[in-house]
Structure 1
């Protein structure tokens, strides 16, 4: 057990790391962020900050030596250099990072745990893409296997003609068949070092231009009836990875049952509502799990909860939001409100 007063290392300096550090401070921990970006939002609320490249094994080793436990706030951290962090000091384990970093491996891993992803195929050339389209059909989405988030690194293909003359950005792509679904939802769980698992209620997620817009509870019946099967799969994935911490799996609710979309081995945007909407937030329970503390109650505390991302110029509504009863505003300290950039979120608690 890692007791309050110890230092938690956070790989990544974005808003998730920022909120992790805030939750850790409430429990009496110090945080040390590591990020190549000198403008790290997490660094603003951490006791210490290391600004160094992901490939700098020496800097990672010194960072790890200064921390009692290390975690990460996004999955695009390079896995190889993390060998500089001693085994048992990094949670979730590196294997979870390796699986989630590659969409092809991720879907195959979910299948090995009994999950059902959308039909998919590896694409390394124009010929591979043509063969994938012939086998899977259209519409579909061509994606980079690694990196890419919030709609980046994705190209929709509505007919075989769309693929003709398409300049592929390189090899290591994946083509996924389009899924007809009633709703999107996520399963957010926390798993302790002793194997105890707790789930939060699954929110109904709505995306716009590939970016999560809202996560709301209660979810519609189409989601609620598929949550047990989705939870069972997420639990098997966590067990197979010997997972410790918060993990999120995203699903499509379809006529044939839940279809696995992707996993995030970290706290997740669709769980931001838990800060005010649950007995224990995803951020606090992640800290509890990686430090070996008892897990907190994950029950929802209000009949209606809705989280809305503030994207780009949405942040200009901040003053109006503060005047709303039951609205809880979180801004991430980002100076430039670019299109598609998450500037903050608001959670509305309703009776």
Structure 2
């Protein structure tokens, strides 16, 4: 089977690495020159709205998926009219608009922070009166890793925030003084079977994910699974879906979904019986789903800006290195490592050694 992937970033790269042992081949469509997944398959170098290139993709593959959630809706519709595109385009459509996303959560009875749409400077004043301060003003579309948002703590912050991101569709959300950030990764097959990985505790800095740690027997596992199930069934979902939550007062508040494999699931390559990447491919290809069970204690550490030297990384027991084939650049995700161990004490020792290396690299940047 040949699978088309819209996008050829690191997620596409890891999908292909998981797919070749299953005898799957890949064709990527991505406008970027030197896209990091390109060496792992055929690369159609074209814009996402190039209908000639999209037609070339459709006639050369059996099914298609995406690793980039901002694929234009027009592109998804074009592909889905010709070959199976999974997850379904409606999932992409909802996830691309924070207002549509939050409205769906609310409609399905999934708790969310207070929110209001904002279209004008005057509407921002009204939203602040209703939502309260502190709050976060976000673009409804695009924006990731902390981009496209501004924190409002006092009324004096409104002008600054509007100058930075105003003049486009926005959403104001109540600021959540969260205790933890969790994500739940679900995978749903074509037959409707749903499996869940252990919830993951995430740590962000500067809006960028730094570490993800799977938590066995977390008290919020069942609640997270219930909410993810509602989303998957509502959307008729097929593939891996990531659902990100804030934990406030011991309860989950929905933040956002990602209709694709997700950074907080990279630990599954070494830490789970079947990785999120293999399970996504199994799902969209109509194969039986693999086990989502945890193999043992593990944690994922992102490499931001640059990767520590291979020799020093490889000297730490239990460290599994993943380069993305990207050139170093400040605040760019250029790779990650998964740390594994037989017990939590050994895991923490190895993690501390890895983070010390990462700190050295960041200090020298």
The two structures have a TM-score, normalised by structure 1, of 0.94
2:58 aligned to which of 52, 60, 64: 64
2:306 is the alignment partner of 1:309: no
Shift of 1:85: 1.6
- Tell me the residue number matched to 2:253: 259
Separation (CA, whole Å) in 2 of partners of 1:175 and 1:226: 27
Are 1:60 and 1:82, in contact at CA under 8 Å, matched by a contact in 2?
Answer: no
- Tell me the residue number matched to 1:52: 46
- Tell me the residue number matched to 1:3: none
2:201 aligned to which of 186, 201, 204: 204
Are 1:118 and 1:259, in contact at CA under 8 Å, matched by a contact in 2?
Answer: yes
- Tell me the residue number matched to 2:20: 25
- Tell me the residue number matched to 2:240: 246
2:3 is the alignment partner of 1:12: no
Q: Deviations over 1:245-299 (max 9, x none)?
A: 0000000111161000000000000000000000000000000000000000110
Are 1:54 and 1:78, in contact at CA under 8 Å, matched by a contact in 2?
Answer: yes
2:314 is the alignment partner of 1:342: no
- Tell me the residue number matched to 1:269: 263
Q: Deviations over 1:79-124 (max 9, x none)?
A: 1132222446100000000000000000111112211111111111
Q: Secondary structure at the match of 2:136?
A: strand
- Tell me the residue number matched to 1:182: 179
Are 2:121 and 2:166, in contact at CA under 8 Å, matched by a contact in 1?
Answer: no
Shift of 1:157: 1.0
- Tell me the residue number matched to 1:236: 230
Separation (CA, whole Å) in 2 of partners of 1:289 and 1:89: 12
- Which of 261-270 and 158-167 deviates more? 158-167
Choose between structure 1 and 2 for higher RCO, CA contacts under 8 A separated by at least 6 residues. 1
Shift of 1:317: 4.2
Could you list the structure 1 runs, at least 4 aligned residues long, displaced by more than 3 angstroms after superposition. none
Are 1:226 and 1:253, in contact at CA under 8 Å, matched by a contact in 2?
Answer: no
Are 2:80 and 2:89, in contact at CA under 8 Å, matched by a contact in 1?
Answer: no
Shift of 1:171: 2.0
- Which of 106-115 and 236-245 deviates more? 106-115
Shift of 1:169: 3.5
Are 1:218 and 1:305, in contact at CA under 8 Å, matched by a contact in 2?
Answer: no
- Tell me the residue number matched to 2:357: none
Separation (CA, whole Å) in 1 of partners of 2:191 and 2:172: 38
Separation (CA, whole Å) in 2 of partners of 1:136 and 1:120: 6
Q: Secondary structure at the match of 1:252?
A: strand
Correspondences of 1:80-119 after superposition (within 5 Å) = 80-87=74-81, 89-119=84-114
Q: Secondary structure at the match of 1:99?
A: helix
Separation (CA, whole Å) in 1 of partners of 2:85 and 2:285: 11
The two structures have a TM-score, normalised by structure 2, of 0.90
Separation (CA, whole Å) in 2 of partners of 1:204 and 1:318: 27
Shift of 1:45: 1.1
More helix by share: 2
